[in-house]
């Protein structure tokens, strides 16, 4: 039986940047297990925002498991992306060549969860509270680009879902 995949176009330089974002996300999760980093707090929300005692107990009981699951998702996503030289100029003329990135339906949910989590981290770091927030520098463009990648995956999944039943 052939595994069903979805595909989305991506250039080599986009894949490189996406791989770096995932690597940075994994580093954040691996090194920020202590309470205090607002981005990690956003990734591990409490259902008891007005009750510090319940919030602390909930975090103690669930935080590491949730971060472990986020890390596992990110590792699965990262495995789908290429290995890259640290220097993006090493891509040379291939940097803007587009290819179809194939993602199995089994890998889709980890991709969607990881891209969403990366957007949450970026939004927290930049103080973005609504999608319409825009800044003067290029950092907001990264937030928008990750949202674009997420939208492309959702569209590809919808397209694949429409064809699965036939």
In 3D space, the residue among 116, 41, 36, 102 whose CA is nearest the CA of residue 73 turns out to be 116
Look at residue 78 and tell me whether its pLDDT is greater than 90: yes
- The distance of Cα 6 from the centroid of its chain, to the nearest Å, equals 17
Look at residue 113 and tell me whether its pLDDT is greater than 50: yes
Q: What angle do CA 59, 114, 123 make, to 5 degrees?
A: 75
**% of the chain with per-residue pLDDT over 90:** 38
Q: How far is residue 53 from each of residues 34, 50, 60, 76, measured CA to CA in Å?
A: 16, 9, 11, 35
pTM of the predicted model as reported, rounded to 2 decimal places: 0.85
pLDDT of residue 133: 64
CA–CA gap between residue 26 and residue 78 (Å, rounded): 9
Q: What is the mean pLDDT of the chain?
A: 85
Look at residue 150 and tell me whether its pLDDT is greater than 90: yes
C-beta separation of 15 from 81 below 8 A? yes
pLDDT confidence bin for 166, thresholds 50/70/90: very low
Who wins on pLDDT, 76 or 94?
Answer: 76
CA–CA gap between residue 57 and residue 151 (Å, rounded): 36
* Mean pLDDT for the stretch of residues 24-41: 85
Helix axes 105-126, 52-80, angle to 10 degrees: 130
- Element of type H or E holding 101: strand 98-104
In 3D space, the residue among 27, 61, 22 whose CA is nearest the CA of residue 44 turns out to be 61
Question: Strand, helix or coil at 162?
Answer: helix
Who wins on pLDDT, 133 or 72?
Answer: 72
* Mean pLDDT for the stretch of residues 125-144: 79
pLDDT of residue 85: 65
């Amino acid at each position: 039986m052939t595994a069903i995949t979805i595909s989305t176009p991506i250039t080599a330089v986009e894949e490189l940047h996406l791989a770096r974002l995932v690597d940075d996300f994994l580093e954040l999760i691996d090194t920020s297990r202590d309470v205090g980093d607002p981005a990690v707090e956003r990734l591990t929300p409490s259902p008891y925002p007005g009750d510090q005692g319940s919030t602390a107990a909930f975090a103690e009981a669930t935080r590491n498991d949730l971060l472990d699951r986020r890390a596992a998702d990110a590792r699965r996503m990262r495995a789908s992306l290429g290995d890259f030289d640290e220097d993006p100029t090493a891509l040379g003329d291939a940097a803007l060549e587009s290819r179809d990135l194939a993602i199995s339906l089994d890998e889709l949910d980890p991709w969607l969860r990881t891209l969403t989590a990366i957007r949450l981290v970026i939004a927290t770091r930049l103080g973005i509270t609504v999608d319409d927030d825009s800044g003067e520098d290029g950092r907001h463009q990264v937030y928008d680009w990750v949202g674009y990648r997420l939208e492309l995956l959702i569209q590809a999944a919808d397209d694949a879902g429409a064809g699965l039943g036939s």
